[in-house]
Structure 1
Amino acid sequence: MTACGLDFGTSNTTLGVADAGAPLLAPLEGDERTIPSAIFFSPAGDAKVGRAAMSAYFDGEAGRLMRSLKSVLGTSLIDEATQLGRSRVKFREVIARYLAIVKRRAEAATGRTLDAVVHGRPVHFVDGDPEGDARAEETLREIALSLGFKEVSFQFEPVAAALDYERGVSGEELALIADIGGGTSDFSVVRLGPDRHGRDDRQSDILANDGVRVGGVDFDRRLSLGTVMPLLGLGSPMKRRELEAPSVYFHELSTWSTINKLYDGRTLRQVREVRRESARPDLIDRLIRVIDDERGHGLAAEVEAAKIRLSDEAETTLALPAVEPGLAAEVRREAFEQHTAQLAQKISAQTRRCLAEAGVLADKIDAVFLTGGSTRIGHVRGAILEVAPSARVIEGDIFGAVGAGLTIEAARRYGS
């Protein structure tokens, strides 16, 4: 039996196998061991994934791009269908198509048939909904079995990251693991050490797990709503001065997983009705152009890129060619932090809650291990580190630590 660790993330995916006892992430796109969680369908139904999917969209190929597929797990959207060419396909089938390609590529790269998997999962797929969490895990289990896996099990993503970090520790310590990804923020408080590493049962070492459905895509959405969508008419007045343009279209356009909902004729007809009643039809014309040309993902990508730049720069230009040639918004880091302050506060509160659940005082934490792409956001990082200010800060592989840890767990459970 060959086992693997599969980190199917909101933004990126990895798949690892054990090689000579060490986790090895398989190349899934050329030499790249991390692949964007994106799929592009041509009108004929052919699929491209990862960077190739993004390139197909940005190169103007006819078809439909889908990202943030993981976001629909645990929600009613999982069994809803989206239009792909002449067919309507359920989201669970789209996820299965994407993961099937990932599995085939990993098998080709490693020369092994993968028949057991430890799937990563957030502590909570859906906030405050245990039934939704159970449904999400069962959906992933059903998909994995349909792909040919004979053994399927799960591990919390921050626990997996802890297993990867533990490979490098020289003595026993108490660690706070923070995995801030594209869709969720997850935390574990774990006892680690070289003498504990080989134990079969680690449950007593895991003092607490907690999480909140806040991640990078939420920061994208808040930045878009605060700086971009007003240029398309969000908050603009209607001819009846006490009314504003309906906000639903702007919220859907700012959310990776709902952009495609706008691309039906009915929505476009509704927006054109809004334009007729708008006191700023010039702004609504921009919204119509983005929907009519199906350029919403390009717009979201520009927002995401601006968010990433603001991690290193005090201000940046957010170019909006998908809206109108030459249109741009100037964004300062302070404004971005203001738009997303509540999200950072939620992450901080959840970090404190995890420590409380573990029954651990902050000054007892030896190390804070950071992984996940959203730990690069300055005020997110600060919100976590302020909880345990005296702890050492350890930088993990932001896109690979979880996958490596899942691979370690897969080898432990099933053998290599």
Structure 2
Amino acid sequence: MTSATPATIGIDFGTTNTVVSLTHGDGPATLVRFQAEEKDLFAFRSALSFQLHEARDGGSPERVIEAGPWAIDAYVEDPLDTRFIQSFKTFAASAAFTETRIDNRRYRFEDLLSAFLLRLKHHADGAMNDLPPRIIVGRPVTFAGGNPNEALALERYEAAFARLGFTDIRYAYEPVGAAFFFARELKQDANVLVADFGGGTSDFSIVRFERADGALKSTPLARSGVGVAGDAFDYRIIDQLVSPELGKGSLYRAFDNRLPIPQRYYSAFARWDQLALLRASKDMRDIRGLASTALEPEKIERLIEVLDDNHGYALYRAVSGLKEALSRDEEAVFSFVAGSVRIEKPVKRTDFEGWIAPELQAMEAAVDEAMAQSGLEGTQIDRVFLTGGTSFVPAVRDIFIRRFGADRIETGGEFESIASGLALIGREADLDLWSQKAA
């Protein structure tokens, strides 16, 4: 193939998974794949591990950094001596997060991200050796967190991606990337609403696609987002099924008083990576002390085991399994078994939908905002493209079926659409229309 069109790379750095796509000339976008345990993967888990290894020369032990499925393997192999971090994207826009310490070494957000990207590149087996200068990085419409600092997040992204050698770093909204991926299948002009559900954010874009002289012209009409998605659903499950079995809502004795166990110990379960931080915090000493004063000490002992023995990943898998089962069936069994901790309970889909009602309302409000910005009526939306793992949750899909009808809902490429669309954006003639540089 010969073409003057430069190669581009798109990267969807997600809360749960990261996907990379490349274009060469005028050809299609192709996914970067990874060979892990005889599996051919393109969704690279957004996780890091720092595992303690003995030095071969008899010197001081050192931490070996891994990422993706290799980070999970390191954690499973040695959970007690492995610092495991996932979902760290949720801290990107947090000014409150300045650093974490691992073996007395400071890691800022950009240090974690660059370490992750370098290991991802390593495991690409040569597919990312000759990188083009331009990269289009996906970004949420609204970053996760209570008071997200967008400029800070992009500044941190910029520092991390520059360490890989990129000189032309641009950012495009994740649902817009998905829209470009979806537009390949359009046969006629259409107003398209794209809903992208990640781990930490839910983002919505409305784009007008028109064909003229054989070319596809696209015009952005609206965008909106909210900092809740799959991780928030996970927390609701944990808060309802797990935390009460670990002491939440129970009491402890303080002299002649009976006081509730502090709620802050359980707020850490809202973010997977915070479990490791809680284990290393001063609160851990207080939690251990509660085991002798709690009215239900067996529950506190379970909490201590979950934290001490790094059962966070096992808990993550149990929660993910329940969500997947409830996406298929009206009722499923939640099963979290790790060490001596065993929590098994039946769950109805209607119960789960009640737990996540606040998040569903926030998502629907963001859809309202996008529609208002676009100036379109519901009948003027020709296609609705749902992408991301949380789009499989029936209550999430129902938001769009009620509004637009099942016949206009499209799915497919739930995990690849954003990265491939971003790579395609990278060769647009007017990049400023679809992407931006960090300020």
Tell whether the structures are fold-level matches, with TM greater than 0.5.
yes
Report the CA distance shift for 1:57/1:316 in structure 2 as closer, same or farther (over 3 A). Answer: farther
2:165 match: secondary structure: coil
C-alpha contact (below 8 Å) 2:196/2:202 kept by paired residues: yes
Shift of 1:326: 4.3
The answer as to 2:34 corresponding to 1:25 is no
Counterpart in the other structure of 2:87: 68
Select which of 41, 48, 54 maps to 2:50.
Answer: 41
Instruction: Give the strand-richer structure, 1 or 2.
Output: 2
Aligned with 1:45: secondary structure? strand
Aligned-partner Cα distance in 2 for 1:168–1:72:
35
Distance in structure 2 (CA, Å) of the matches to 1:17 and 1:341 = 38
The CA distance in 2 between the partners of 1:47 and 1:81, in whole Å, is 15
Q: CA deviation at 1:351?
A: 0.8
Q: 1:91 aligns with which of 84, 87, 109?
A: 109
What's the CA shift string for 1:28-55, capped at 9, x where partnerless?
Answer: 3453111111111112221222122222
The percent identity for this pair of structures is 30
Query: In the TM superposition, what are the counterparts of 1:78-227 in structure 2 within 5 Å?
Result: 78-83=97-102, 85-106=103-124, 108-109=126-127, 112-126=130-144, 132-195=149-212, 198=215, 202=218, 205-227=219-241
Q: Is the 8 A contact 1:363 1:391 kept in 2?
A: no
8 Å CA contact retained: 2:15, 2:198: yes
Q: In terms of mean alpha carbon deviation, does 331-340 or 157-166 score higher?
A: 331-340
How much has 1:133 moved relative to structure 2?
Answer: 1.0
Contact 1:172–1:193 (8 Å) recurs in 2? yes
Residue in 2 that maps onto 1:278: 294
Normalised TM-score (structure 2)? 0.87
8 A Cα contact 1:116 1:414, kept in partner: no
Q: 1:411 maps to what in 2?
A: 427
Report the CA distance between 1:15 and its aligned residue: 0.9
Over residues 188-234 of structure 1, what are the superposed CA-to-partner deviations in whole Å (9 max), with x where a residue is unaligned?
1111134398468x4xx111010000111110011100111101111
* In 2: Cα distance, 1:325 partner to 1:275 partner: 16
Question: Quick one: structure 1 residues 40 and 110, their matched pair in 2 at CA, closer, same or farther if it must change by over 3 Å?
Answer: closer
Helix, strand or coil: the match of 2:334?
strand
Q: Give the Å deviation of 1:382.
A: 1.0
Aligned partner of 1:298 among 314, 329, 338? 314
Unpaired runs of 5+ residues, structure 2, are 1-5, 53-61, 432-439
Distance 1:256 1:344 in 2: 21
Please name the residue that 2:360 is paired with: 344
* CA shift for structure 1 position 323: 5.9
Q: Which moved more, 1:49-58 or 1:144-153?
A: 49-58
Give 1:349-364 correspondences, 5 Å limit: 349-364=365-380
- Distance in 1, matches of 2:385 and 2:281, equals 48
What do residues 282-339 of structure 1 show as CA deviations (whole Å, max 9, x unaligned)? Answer: 2111111111222223223322222222111222222222263544232222221111
Task: Please state whether the residue corresponding to 1:403 is helix, strand or coil.
Answer: helix
Q: Name which of structure 1's ranges 140-149 and 242-251 shifts more when overlaid on structure 2.
A: 242-251
User: More deviation in 102-111 or 280-289?
Assistant: 102-111
CA 1:46–1:390: 2 relative to 1, 3 Å: closer
Structure 1 Cα separation of the partners of residues 42 and 147 of structure 2: 33
Aligned residue for 2:243? 229
Is contact 2:34-2:125 (8 Å) kept?
A: no
Structure 1 gaps of 5+ residues are none
Taking structure 1 as reference, are residues 308 and 150 closer, same or farther at Cα in structure 2, changes over 3 Å only? Answer: same
Matches within 5 A, 1:50-69: 50-61=68-79, 62-69=81-88
From 256, 264, 287, give the equivalent of 2:303. Answer: 287
Q: Distance in 2 between matches of 1:248 and 1:390?
A: 42
Mark the CA change 1:127 to 1:250 in structure 2 (over 3 Å): closer, same or farther: closer
Matches for 1:240-279 after TM superposition, within 5 Å: 243-264=259-280, 266-279=282-295
Contact in 1 for aligned 2:90/2:145 (Cα 8 Å): no
CA distance in 2, matches of 1:393, 1:196: 28
**CA distance in 1: counterparts of 2:208 and 2:151, whole angstroms:** 27
Residue 436 of structure 2 corresponds to which residue in structure 1? none
The DSSP-based 3-state class of the residue aligned with 1:299 is helix
**1:40–1:57 CA contact under 8 A, matched in 2:** yes
CA distance, structure 2, for counterparts of residue 104 and residue 115 of structure 1: 18
Write the distance in 2 (CA, Å) between the matches of 1:220 and 1:137. 27
Aligned-residue offset at 1:242: 6.1
What's the Cα RMSD here? Answer: 2.4
Structure 2: how far apart are the matches of 1:378 and 1:26? 30
- 3-state SS of the aligned residue for 2:310? coil
Number of equivalenced pairs? 410
TM-score by length of 1: 0.91
Tell me the SS of whatever aligns to 1:412: coil
The farther-off stretch of 66-75 and 133-142 is: 133-142
Say whether the 8 Å CA contact 2:95–2:152 is kept in structure 1.
no
